[in-house]
Amino acid sequence: MLIDLENVQKVGFVDVPVDPTLDLEAEIKRLKKEKNAVLLAHYYQESEIQDIADYIGDSLGLAQEAQKTQADIILFAGVHFMAETAKILNPNKKVLIPDLKAGCSLADSCPPQAFAQFKAKHPDHIVISYINCTAEIKALTDVICTSSNAVKIVESFPKDQPIIFAPDKNLGAYINKKTGRNMLLWNGACMVHEIFSLEKITKLKVHHPNAKIIAHPECEAPILDIADFIGSTTALLNYTVTDDATEYIVVTETGILHQMQKKSPHKTFIPAPPNNNCACNDCPHMKLNTLEKIYLALTHEQPEIDVPEPIRSQALKPLLRMLELSK
């Protein structure tokens, strides 16, 4: 067998060549069946990964799916905090991630030690954390939320309850505005959602006057102020299906456009431009995952995610609370 050295994939601790003649889709399908594995994928994954996933969804949908799966192995085509969430919910299952380096700038913007000190300064506050955070932050949290249930979770507390919201200041500010609260915000943000250019989006709108601007709440306030609709990735997708416009400027990571286009082939979806000429509206972490790495992860059953105790059981409580409140 010829080994294509150019095609050598680095996956966690394993350096293994992938035979370039392999039908990766068929191999992944075979391995999933053989090992009773489920492939969960976030909407920001490459189209070819979305197309072979058993479930594609937003962070809430993925957590719910991870909670109810009967599979022995969960292969998480997403980023580290998502796979960690699946492991927190399933300590006895094997949770794999195609590339261990698939992190998240938002999760990284909230280091546990600094956050613990911040929390200690506000003992009367409860903590609501966006799911885009590490297991350590979840362990310091009272209830987790995602962008699809954040308003509901915040409103489940009395209006006079002091709240720390972490780690996304943009989502926090959006919820504050929507609910009339004054939550204390951790100063974190997502590198992808902060890169969109208000000026370029406004210019784009001039050329596409009938296009609706739809945005993820991780975007900065001036972008959200001009949006026709704001929601999680699933909410944005559903909106484009039920809404009667035919053109949309989509202000979130570009991966979601694949499902939008699939569900509404007759509509036009324009990815909102970043503020420079890079492809910064692609999440560099999400895009580390490839079909080759998924194949290798299933073959070697690594890289595996582990969440040590007592962090895991401490992080489980706020997660279960969120899942209960989201029913």
Which residues contribute to the site for ligand 13P (CB under 6 A)? 43, 58-59, 132, 146-147, 190, 216, 218, 232-233
| Cα separation, 214 vs 247, whole angstroms | 10
The partner in contact with residue 147, picked from ligand SF4, ligand 13P, none with C-beta cut-offs of 5 to 8 angstroms by kind, is: ligand 13P
| Burial (Cβ within 10 Å: 0-12, 13-18, ≥19) of residue 309 | exposed
Which segment (137-145, 281-289, 293-301, 308-316) binds ligand SF4 by CB under 6 A?
281-289
Using CB under 6 A as the binding rule, the residues of this chain from 22 to 51 that contact ligand SF4 are 44
Q: What is the DSSP string of 253-294?
A: -TTHHHHHHHH-TTSEEEEPPBSSSS-TTS-TTGGG--HHHH
Q: Which is nearer to ligand SF4, 126 or 235 (CB)?
A: 235
| Cα separation, 45 vs 97, whole angstroms | 13
- What is the rounded (10 degree) CA torsion for 99, 102, 108, 112? -30
| Cα separation, 242 vs 42, whole angstroms | 21
Among 109, 132, 176, 290, binds ligand SF4 (CB under 6 A): 132
Whole-number Cα distances in Å, 123 to 117, 174, 231, 318, 321: 10, 24, 31, 18, 21
Q: Which is nearer to ligand SF4, 24 or 233 (CB)?
A: 233
In the block, residue with structure tokens 């998924």: 294
| Cα separation, 25 vs 133, whole angstroms | 31
- Are 156 and 325 contacting, i.e. CB atoms less than 8 angstroms apart? yes
- Least distance to ligand 13P, CB of residue 195, Å: 13
Q: Which of 245, 163, 220 is nearest to 230 (CA)?
A: 220
Note whether 56 binds ligand SF4 by CB under 6 A: no
Q: What is the DSSP string of 101-120?
A: T---HHHHTS-HHHHHHHHH
- Least distance to ligand SF4, CB of residue 82, Å: 8
Among 128, 283, 296, 298, binds ligand SF4 (CB under 6 A): 283
The partner in contact with residue 191, picked from ligand 13P, ligand SF4, none with C-beta cut-offs of 5 to 8 angstroms by kind, is: ligand SF4
At a CB cut-off of 8 Å and minimum separation 6, what does 31 contact?
37, 295, 298, 299
Q: Which is nearer to ligand SF4, 168 or 292 (CB)?
A: 168
Chain-centre distance of CA 291, in angstroms?
19
At a CB cut-off of 8 Å and minimum separation 6, what does 291 contact?
24, 25, 28, 46, 48, 49, 52
- Are 94 and 71 contacting, i.e. CB atoms less than 8 angstroms apart? no
Note whether 104 binds ligand SF4 by CB under 6 A: yes
Which segment (21-29, 32-40, 135-143, 278-286) binds ligand SF4 by CB under 6 A?
278-286
Q: Which is nearer to ligand SF4, 32 or 285 (CB)?
A: 285
The partner in contact with residue 146, picked from ligand 13P, ligand SF4, none with C-beta cut-offs of 5 to 8 angstroms by kind, is: ligand 13P
Using CB under 6 A as the binding rule, the residues of this chain from 178 to 197 that contact ligand SF4 are 190-192
- Least distance to ligand 13P, CB of residue 135, Å: 16
Q: Which is nearer to ligand 13P, 18 or 98 (CB)?
A: 98
- Least distance to ligand SF4, CB of residue 251, Å: 12
Q: Which is nearer to ligand 13P, 240 or 295 (CB)?
A: 240
Query: Tokens at residue 86, please?
Result: 């699946």
Q: Which is nearer to ligand 13P, 11 or 107 (CB)?
A: 107
The partner in contact with residue 285, picked from ligand 13P, ligand SF4, none with C-beta cut-offs of 5 to 8 angstroms by kind, is: ligand SF4
Note whether 84 binds ligand SF4 by CB under 6 A: no
- Which residues of this chain interact with ligand SF4, rule CB under 6 A? 44, 79, 104-106, 132, 190-192, 253, 283, 285-286
